Each structure stands twice: as C-alpha cells, then as structure tokens.
C-alpha cells in the first residue's frame, strides 16, 4: 500500500535528525516572545525562565497535535511546527500594564475559547483564499522575515558596541555558503540535512570567535514547569478579551496561508475539515497558554520554508520536533544550551529559509492570470501595503492597542488587502463590470462591397 509523502515514517535516526533541524531553526524565534514580554513587564529572571519553559512545552504539544491530529477534532495532519506568535506580544504587554498578569492569561484563555467557536466558520472561507491571496501573503511573509534574519546578524540596536560587527557578518556569510554547498551540490540525506549541517559548522566556527556563551547553563534547573495559573486566578476584562480575540483572528489568517502553502509544497491540498482542525489547534494554544502561563502559537513560516527547502514532507518528522520541544520545556538546562546558538549563525540560515518562503509565494502567483489588470493591481497593492510596516517601523504607534494589533503586522495587512480586494473584484458584479468595460471592442464583420461602393473594402 502506497502512502503520501506526508504520511510516511522515516528511519528513527533520520527522523530525529530532521526533527532536531526544525527545532534549531525555530527555537530563537520561539523563546524571543517570552524574553521580550518578561523584560517589558518587569519580570525577574526566574519568572522569565518559567515562561520560556511553559512556552516550549505548549509549542511542543500543539506541534504534535497539528502533525498527528486528534481524531476528527484537531490537527491539520501536515508537517507543521508551532511556536509563540509576535501578533499577541504588544496587546499582552498593554494588558499587563493596565490590568495585571491575571488579566493577560484570563483574556488569552477567553480568546482561545472564542477561536474554538470560530474555527469551523472560518474554514468555510477557504474558497476565498485562492492562489491570488495565498501567493501575496507568502511573498510578504518571506520578504518581511528577511528583516528578522538581518537583525540576528547585524543586531537591532545601532548604538550597541557589537552592532554590524564585520566578524558576525562574515560568519553569517560562511553559514550561507555552507548551506548552498550542501543544498545544491549534496546528494540524498546530505542535501536534506544541509540546513542542520550549516548550523553545526557555523557554531563550530563561532567558538574561537567567542560567540558561544554557556554561562547560563549551570544556573538553569534540570526540571521545571509552571503550575497552572501561576500568577493567580484568571481575570477577564472586556477590553482585554476583545483584544486577544482579535489576536486569535489574526493568527487564523496567518495560519490559513501557511497551511495552504504546505498543501502546495507537499502536494496534499487541504479540505475544509483539515483547515478547521488546524485552526482548532491554534485555538487550543490559546486555551492551554492561558492555563499554563504560555503564549498563543502560530505555524512558524521559517519551518514552512524548511519543508520546501529540504523536501522532507513527513509529518512524523515535525511530530518528533514537538517531542523535542516538550523535553526542552521540561528540562530548562537543555533549552539553555540550545539558546546559546550564535545569532549570526541562525540569521545566516534564516536568509535562505525566509527567502524560500517568498519564492514559494511567487511560484503560487504563477498560477494567477497576471495579464488581467485587476489581478495585477490586487497583487501590487496588497504586497505594497503588506510591506509598509516593515519599511516604516512604528507608523501605527499612535493608534489604539486594538488597531495596532491589526495594522502593526505587515502579514495581516497583506492578508486583509488581498482577501478584500479579491472578494470585491473576483466575487461580485463590480469586477465583472470592470472587466467588461475594459474589454476590447470587436468590430462587426465588414459589409461586402457593392457596385455602388467600390472603395469600401479598401478603406476597411
């Protein structure tokens, strides 16, 4: 009996290696959310460490649910890796400062429950996410994430001493060259493990450069997990609940694009049921995050890029990644070791992975009739709007918190623009009328000349 590549199991060693590769790719992005949140609300190091452990634990659980599925209830059953989303970071910080941490996790729990109720209705919109929409979103996702890779390589604070250090830039260049060598010149498993090998070789090169800091390992505990509702009984201010419900809707839009992309990459198109179960997985992250003091999870696009780059489509590989994340969440000392990967090394790999996501988006747009001026306009406007926040950081900082949630993410803006314009011009009479008005006029058949009009044919 033949299986789709998504459903095939690999030999244990290869499955573990590919699973670890996914974890190393997403780890920095995953733990950045609790680090930034903890610093913004003034939490001590031990509390931030607990948040990181909870973050990894829930990310691992949701990754396994998305990869393997839970009956007909949850999980898209695709090679998916999940982690904390930045979409919820700003509202969580604002809620913490206004109402306290009990309100942060109470509103997250409520937002997750709202998401569970909306998953099936949202999935019914799948026909409104054609290649025109998903291609735009993926292109914007890939291009916008290149800035994240640049920040890892160069730094994000121009006033810092190590900002734009030539050694860091050269290290990232070495990582890129190693990855290219394996991805383009390697054979078999060496090609598929090219990203992991680039990470390992880059880390070895970084050792004599003094970029490996294992100072925090000795102080990390061997075992740790946050108790449910660590900060006290949850609270549910209406404003906070609305804000986190909006976050869940934003996560749904991002995850829908990622799941449709994975369907394209793996050759296994999604049904409405698959999409609904995938969205239920996102909503469960809000429920579990609210209970265990973690964060709302989304599908990590860098791992979508890894699936496309390595062409390893097995969902059992990402399920292994989920198991590794759970172990890292339960054993903080191991998580600290992984966190010691030099930022320029991760950034160098990120350049390739994030750009691959953009290429997947461009390839998706090839299925669209771009000779049609309306489709071309939709793509141009949506990509432009989606990239605005990336080139004009802070442009929406004077808007209220709810508006910032929607407008501050270029991915969200691209999704809303492409979805709305496609709906307006490809699913209503307005688009039909616009195309009819611009259609070329076909001249009527010429009248055969008569003896009375000998020169009509010559003039026609």
For every residue of 409-451, DSSP letters joined together read -HHHHHHHHHHHHHHHHHSSHHHHHHHHHHSPPPPPPPPPP-T
pTM of the model: 0.71
Spatial distance between the Cα atoms of 444 and 69, rounded to a whole number of angstroms: 61
- CB count in 10 Å sphere of residue 365: 19
317's tokens: 């590989």
Q: How many residues does the chain have?
A: 460
Q: List the Cα angle 406/140/200 in 5-degree steps.
A: 110
- pLDDT digit string, tens, across residues 76-124: 999 999 998 877 777 788 888 888 999 999 999 999 999 999 999 988 8
What pLDDT shows up at residue 450?
53
What pLDDT shows up at residue 421?
95
Which residues make Cβ contacts (< 8 Å) with residue 202, sequence separation at least 6? 171, 174, 175, 178, 342, 344, 345, 348, 349
What pLDDT shows up at residue 144?
79
What pLDDT shows up at residue 459?
41
- pLDDT digit string, tens, across residues 392-418: 877 888 887 667 666 766 777 888 899
What pLDDT shows up at residue 309?
81
What pLDDT shows up at residue 1?
46
Spatial distance between the Cα atoms of 117 and 182, rounded to a whole number of angstroms: 45
Q: Which residues of the chain have pLDDT under 50?
A: 1, 451-460
Going 253 to 237 to 226 to 88, the CA torsion angle's sign is: positive
| Phi, psi angle pair for 11, to nearest 5° | -55, 145
What pLDDT shows up at residue 215?
63
């Amino acid at each position: 009996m033949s299986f789709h590549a998504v459903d095939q199991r690999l030999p244990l060693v290869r499955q573990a290696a590919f699973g670890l590769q996914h974890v190393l790719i997403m780890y920095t992005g995953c733990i950045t959310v609790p680090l930034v949140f903890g610093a913004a609300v003034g939490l001590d190091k031990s509390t931030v460490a607990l948040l990181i452990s909870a973050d990894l634990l829930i990310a691992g659980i949701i990754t396994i649910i998305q990869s393997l599925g839970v009956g007909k209830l949850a999980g898209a059953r695709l090679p998916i890796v999940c982690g904390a989303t930045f979409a919820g970071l700003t509202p969580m910080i604002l809620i913490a400062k206004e109402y306290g941490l009990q309100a942060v996790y109470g509103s997250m729990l409520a937002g997750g429950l709202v998401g569970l109720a909306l998953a099936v209705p949202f999935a019914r919109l799948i026909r409104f996410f054609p290649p025109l929409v998903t291609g735009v979103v993926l292109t914007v996702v890939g291009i916008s994430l290149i800035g994240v890779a640049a920040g890892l390589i160069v730094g994000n604070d121009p006033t810092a001493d190590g900002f734009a250090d030539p050694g860091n830039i050269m290290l990232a260049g070495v990582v890129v060259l190693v990855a290219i060598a394996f991805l383009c010149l390697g054979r078999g498993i060496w090609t598929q493990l090219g990203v992991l090998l680039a990470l390992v070789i880059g880390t070895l090169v970084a050792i004599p450069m003094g970029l490996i800091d294992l100072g925090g390992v000795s102080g990390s505990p061997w075992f740790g997990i946050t108790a449910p509702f660590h900060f006290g009984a949850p609270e549910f201010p209406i404003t906070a609940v609305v804000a986190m419900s909006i976050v869940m809707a934003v996560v749904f839009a991002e995850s829908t694009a990622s799941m449709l992309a994975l369907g394209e990459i793996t050759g296994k198109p999604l049904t409405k049921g698959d999409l609904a179960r995938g969205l239920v997985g996102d909503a469960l992250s809000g429920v579990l995050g609210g209970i265990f003091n973690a964060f709302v999870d989304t599908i990590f696009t860098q791992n979508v890029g890894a699936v496309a780059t390595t062409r390893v489509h097995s969902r059992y590989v990402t399920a292994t990644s989920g198991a590794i994340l759970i172990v890292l969440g339960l054993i903080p000392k191991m998580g600290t070791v992984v966190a010691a990967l030099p930022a320029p090394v991760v950034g160098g790999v990120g350049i390739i992975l994030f750009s691959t996501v953009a290429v997947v988006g461009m390839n998706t747009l090839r299925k669209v009739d771009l000779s049609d001026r309306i489709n071309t306009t939709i793509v141009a406007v949506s990509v432009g709007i989606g990239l605005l926040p990336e080139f004009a950081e802070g442009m929406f900082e004077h808007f209220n918190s709810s508006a910032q949630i929607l407008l501050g993410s270029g991915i969200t803006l691209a999704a809303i623009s492409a979805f709305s314009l496609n709906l307006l011009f490809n699913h209503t009479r307005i688009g039909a009328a616009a195309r009819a008005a611009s259609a070329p006029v076909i001249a009527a058949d010429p009248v055969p000349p008569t003896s009375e009009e000998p020169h009509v044919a010559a003039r026609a």
